[in-house]
Amino acid sequence: MATNNQQRLYDIVPIPNKGTGVIATQDIAKGTRIMAEKPLFIVPTNVMERGMQVVEKHLTEQLKTLDKDQQRAFLSLHNCHGTTFSPFLAICKTNMLGLGSPPIGGGLFIEASRINHACNPNTQNSWNSRINRETIHAVRDIKKGEEITISYIGHFAPYVERQSILKIKFNFDCTCELCSLPPDLRRASDERLATIHRLDQAILSAGSNVKLGLGMVRRMLSLLDDEGTYNSQVYRAYYDAFQMMAATDDKARAGELIRMALEHARTVEGNDSETVKNFERLAANPTRHMAWGLYGRKKTQETAPADKDSRAFKTWLWME
């Protein structure tokens, strides 16, 4: 993972037809941490679950703890809901980012909340519970002057569903690169996304049929690549494959797959995320996984082909 702890890599500027947004002030390499921002305040999940009046009271209490500059910064954030809600609540509903998966709550950020949406964004936003900051990492190379984007919605929604969600939740019609594809290419994208979603739901149901499960993971990774999508779903797919190999006591494949999951997790979340630390522990000793040997133990263990870039290695790894 590339890092930059000294130099600011972005600026917050007006974006035509979008209000305010964030642009790169220099070329940014894939894997670079662009932001690591503490929340202005957090609305915990258990507060959200108690209704709007409780949330309003919590917001008022939190805003009173801020200094004048912080209050002005909060009030300058976009409100896409007009007068549907109170001003404080409307700003929060427009700008809050979920903290973790499952989320511990929503965080309000002065800078990260300025990042606009794209359905196939060039960064991944993640809550890092070890440093209590929202991190933004480049998931592909970003050119100087290019807008920095995140996704406000789930990874696999087709065009019509994405447009509906964004209109209802954020009151805009998305014209990002993915949504602006010609109709035939958009239909092909929708079909890929639907297949990715089905595979993601079905992978672990393969159970002890690991060859079937590995085939699903391999197919999903290929479709993600065809879609030009690189995000946390990539490392999760490798981790799903690792868990299958763990359950069947396949030390060689499990070791390779958890190392791949670790590599991709470092790219999208950084070296210090909880996911990365967990993967590092498993990479050091894959048998620590709680499901190790669930489907039985092997009498003999295989050895991975030495050339990791070879076709023979890929054929062996995916049991093709």
Domain count for the chain, please give it: 2
* Residues 277-295: tens digit of each pLDDT: 999 999 999 999 999 999 9
Domain span at residue 254 reads: 183-317
143 and 20 housed in the same domain: yes
Residue 246 lies in a domain: yes
Residue 167 lies in a domain: no
Three-state SS across the chain? CCCCCCCCCEEEEEECCCEEEEEECCCECCCCEEEEECCCEEEEHHHHCCCHHHHHHHHHHHHHCCCHHHHHHHHCCCCCCCCCCCHHHHHHHHHCEECCCCCCEEEECCCHHHCEECCCCCEEEEEECCCCEEEEEECCCECCCCEEEECCCCCCCCHHHHHHHHHHHHCCCCCCCCCCCCHHHHHHHHHHHHHHHHHHHHHHHHCCCHHHHHHHHHHHHHHHHHHCCCCHHHHHHHHHHHHHHHHCCCHHHHHHHHHHHHHHHHHHHCCCCHHHHHHHHHHHCHHHCCCCCCCCCCCCCCCCCCCCCCHHHHHHHCCC
Looking at the fold, whether 83 and 140 belong to one and the same domain comes out as yes
pLDDT tens column, 137-186:
999 999 999 999 999 997 789 999 999 999 999 999 999 999 999 999 99
* Residue that finishes a domain, picked among 122, 157, 192: 157
The answer to the question of residue 1 being in a domain is: no
Last residue of a domain, one of 112, 140, 157: 157
Q: Specify the CATH number for the domain of residue 244.
A: 1.25.40
**Mean pLDDT value of segment 119-134:** 97
144 and 20 co-located in one domain: yes
* In a shared domain, residues 151 and 197: no
Residue 259 has pLDDT above 80, yes or no: yes
Give the residue from 196, 155, 151, 144 showing the smallest Cα distance to 176.
151
CB of 108 closer than 8 Å to CB of 167: no
Q: Are residues 153 and 192 in the same domain?
A: no
5-15 pLDDT tens trace: 458 999 999 99
Prediction pTM value: 0.93
Do 254 and 307 fall into the same domain? yes
Q: Are residues 311 and 224 in the same domain?
A: yes
Of residues 135, 134, 137, the one with CA closest to residue 231? 137
Q: Are 144 and 162 in contact (CB under 8 A)?
A: no
Is pLDDT above 50 for 3?
A: no
If phi over 0 gives left and psi between -120 and 50 gives alpha, with beta otherwise, what is residue 82? left
Q: Which residue has the tokens 């954030």?
A: 77
In a domain, 121, yes or no: yes
138 and 194 in a single domain? The answer is no
